[in-house]
Amino acid sequence: MKTTRLFLFLLLLFAAGCGQDAPAAEPAPTAESAPIAAATAEPSPAPTATATVTAVPPTLTPIPTATATPEPTPTPTPEAIALLSAEDFGTDRNPLTGELVEDPAVLQRRPLAVKIANSPPEYTRPQAGVSQADIVYEHPSEGPITRFTAIFYSQTPPDVGPIRSARLIDVELPAMYDAGLAYSGASIGVSNKLFASDFRARIIRSYEPGYYRTGEEIPYEHTLYGDPAGFWQALEEKEQNVPPTFTATMAFTSEPPEGGAPAEAVTIDYDNWTLVEWRYDAENGRYWRWADGEPSRDKNTDTQVSAANVIIVYAIHQIDMSICEFQQGDRCLAFSTEIQIWGQGRGTIVRDGQAYDVTWKRERRSDMLTFYNAAGDAVPLQIGNSWFQIVPLHYRQPVTLTP
């Protein structure tokens, strides 16, 4: 009997030990058992046959993984850009600004030269579209009154104007940029020269697509505006909207060349009639334009006009007594002025807060103006739009540079 009881006890003890994955918690000692356990250090009594043992998996606390603090990524320095030959522009850079274009297809259309008024201010300012021109020429028309010829190529503003009549300089500019010409008309003498020119096929007359009147209650001659998309359509209908051929190349660099003098501002005084100011903004590297003490604004966007380059071109201004621009009765009150932008002359390039004395050149009729230093090396422009200030040679100290 004792043997059987011992056997059953051992069997229960063995079964209880085999059913556990982890040791069970010890029962709390009683007042009687505690001294015995401490004295004998014997194992606790085994559980009885009726005890239920539940295996509880241990709770594992994850060990935090050390995270390395990332080193700050340095801002890469923009790579300097130098566009010194026609090949440097590739197929996606505008030869008139050096800028990359989002859609290279725009470079397959012909540039537009658009004649824009600048006087009187109350009827002509602010002008529309000039901030999107790649190049603007500002020149005297009659006496000290200035007028613009804006060259549009890579951008398409919704409106340009007010559009006014052409002058003798417009016999040259469309040839230089292989451009179409949009204008409101011209005197008989200038018209004869325009329609005898090598670009007569791409002259856009005021009755062709692209022109419209605003209907404003101002003198009628200041109400003509244009839609450049319509002008390109007019050239398309003439089969003249083809890629231009440029026979000269302006150089561009993103970094200013050496040899400049500080020029935080430049002022051009057109014989006490029109006062133009350009003020440098070091934060964006551009010059902001003022005219007669007021910020020049673009009517399309109400933003101030700015330029990456201000180029002062000194040129001979010869009165052509055979062409009358303003006649009263049988008396001519204003003759046409021939601005001789061919051959070469002196000039100043203002970019990046610096001014550079240069010689401008135009050796062939189809050449645009290019610029050289005393050693005969090309002087590059900053990448971006340019504003040409044409200044008569006979003016006395018309330009002031502020360091």
CA angle 366, 370, 372 (to 5 degrees): 145
3-state secondary structure 194-205: HCCCCCHHHEEC
pTM attached to this predicted model: 0.81
For each of the domains in the chain, give its residue range(s) and CATH number, in order of start. 82-402 (3.50.90.10)
Q: How confident is the model at residue 167 (pLDDT cuts 50, 70, 90)?
A: very high
* Per-residue pLDDT at 143: 86
Residue 84 has pLDDT above 80, yes or no: yes
Minimal CA–CA distance to 295: which of 304, 283, 287?
A: 304
Minimal CA–CA distance to 140: which of 121, 122, 119, 171?
A: 119
Cα dihedral value 202, 206, 208, 213, nearest 10: 140
Q: Which of 15-24, 145-154, 235-244, 371-380 has the lowest mean pLDDT?
A: 15-24
* Per-residue pLDDT at 21: 39
Residue 352, classed as helix, strand or coil, is: coil
Please give the Cα distance from 228 to 154 (Å, whole number). 11
Element of type H or E holding 6: helix 2-18
Tabulate helix, strand, coil % of the chain (nearest 5). 20, 35, 50
Residue 286 bridge partners (DSSP): 281
Q: Which residues contact 182 (CB under 8 A, 6 or more apart)?
A: 112, 113, 114, 115, 160, 163, 204, 210, 211, 226, 231
Taking phi over 0 as left and psi of -120 to 50 as alpha, with beta for the rest, 384 belongs to left
Higher pLDDT, 51 or 178: 178
Residue 349 has pLDDT above 60, yes or no: yes
ω into 120 cis (within 30 of 0): yes
Minimal CA–CA distance to 53: which of 97, 83, 13?
A: 13
For the four alpha carbons of 147, 143, 339 and 261, in that order, the dihedral sign comes to: negative
Summarize pLDDT for 46-82 with one digit per residue, the tens. 444 443 434 444 444 444 444 555 666 666 667 899 9
Mean pLDDT of the chain: 87
Task: Out of 12-21, 66-75, 343-352, give the one with best mean pLDDT.
Answer: 343-352
ω into 162 cis (within 30 of 0): yes
* Per-residue pLDDT at 68: 52
Residue 288 has pLDDT above 60, yes or no: yes
Minimal CA–CA distance to 147: which of 13, 299, 16, 274?
A: 274
Summarize pLDDT for 120-154 with one digit per residue, the tens. 999 999 999 999 999 999 999 988 999 999 999 99
Amino acid letter for position 395: Y
Inter-residue contact 249 to 377 (CB < 8 Å): no
Amino acid letter for position 248: A
Q: How confident is the model at residue 18 (pLDDT cuts 50, 70, 90)?
A: very low
The label of the residue with tokens 């003198």 reads 219
Q: Which of 8-12, 203-207, 241-245, 373-377 has the lowest mean pLDDT?
A: 8-12
The pairing of strands 180-182 and 112-116 is parallel
For 43, the token pair is 């194992």
Please give the Cα distance from 251 to 95 (Å, whole number). 9
Longest distance between any two alpha carbons in the chain, whole Å: 155
* Per-residue pLDDT at 50: 42
* Per-residue pLDDT at 41: 37
Minimal CA–CA distance to 112: which of 173, 196, 186, 192?
A: 173
